[in-house]
Amino acid sequence: MSDHVLLQKAGGVLTLTLNRPEKKNALTQAMYQTLADAIDGAAGDKDVRCILIQAGGDAFCAGNDLADFVAVSMATASETEGAVLHNPLLTALARTEVPLVAAVQGRAVGVGLTLLLHCDLVYVAEEALLSAPFADLALTPEAASSLLLPARIGHARAFSIFVLGEAIDGRTAAAWGIANAAVPVVEVQARARVAAEAVAAKPAAAVAHTKALMRDVQAIAEHMDAEGVRFAAQLRSAEAREAFMAFVEKRAPDFRKVV
């Protein structure tokens, strides 16, 4: 499963490449753990001064692998509580002091969008589509996104993304402040790498202190915990089972019949 996340270190930059293009880089539990271990490990590695997150194929990340969601929704709470409440990647993103840069092409769905809120610099393809339609799956936001996204773009815009499932393109993401710049898709990874290498060339302690002062890590972690409780409850709800069954059966869900 490690082949689904490629790691490369050069010039002070640790590059993490999502490498599951046949599934639009949907994240599995194994991929979450690999990414978390890499991000946490960078904290003690003097050769890593910046982390670049990118993806292979025509999509950045299609979100969580729905097969995992289905398995959790059908299992007992005791069997899955740890995996649902304590996603290692989200914890690593919240606490890392290493600067994070992202290069986004194609679709970024769910966690593919919410992880960007923890990145310090984000570059997107002009035609990229970012979305987080949690309500469509009868779920709630995660990764502290219910705190971070409204703070970034305002309540009304964030609500339309979370509840109405509206997608925004790369140009809009840049205009709203989710991304630093929207560029042609053939340039996005190169643009992000130039930025990551520029960050890596800066004085590391000054950069780390600046990032720490700009983020309330405790508040983010506490909000993640609160989200995790509600997310876990919804994942095992009748609403979620209807959403997942509708997905499997290729039909529209009918939440009005769920009691």
pLDDT at residue 69 in the model: 74
pLDDT tens digits, one per residue of 197-220: 999 999 999 999 999 999 999 999
The CA radius of gyration of the chain, in Å to the nearest whole number, is: 18
Q: Which residues of the chain have pLDDT under 70?
A: 1-2, 72-85, 259
pLDDT tens digits, one per residue of 186-196: 999 999 999 99
**Alpha-carbon distance values, 220 to 11, 30, 143, 202, 225 (Å):** 30, 24, 8, 26, 9
Whole-prediction pTM: 0.93
Edge to edge, the sheet with strand 50-55 lists: 5-10, 13-18, 50-55, 100-104, 121-125, 181-183
- As a three-state string, the secondary structure of 64-105 is ECHHHHHHHHHCCHHHHHHHHHCCHHHHHHHHCCCCEEEEEC
Q: Where are the domains of the chain?
A: 2-186+201-206
Q: Considering the domain 2-186+201-206 in this protein, what is its CATH number?
A: 3.90.226.10
Number of residues written out for the chain: 259
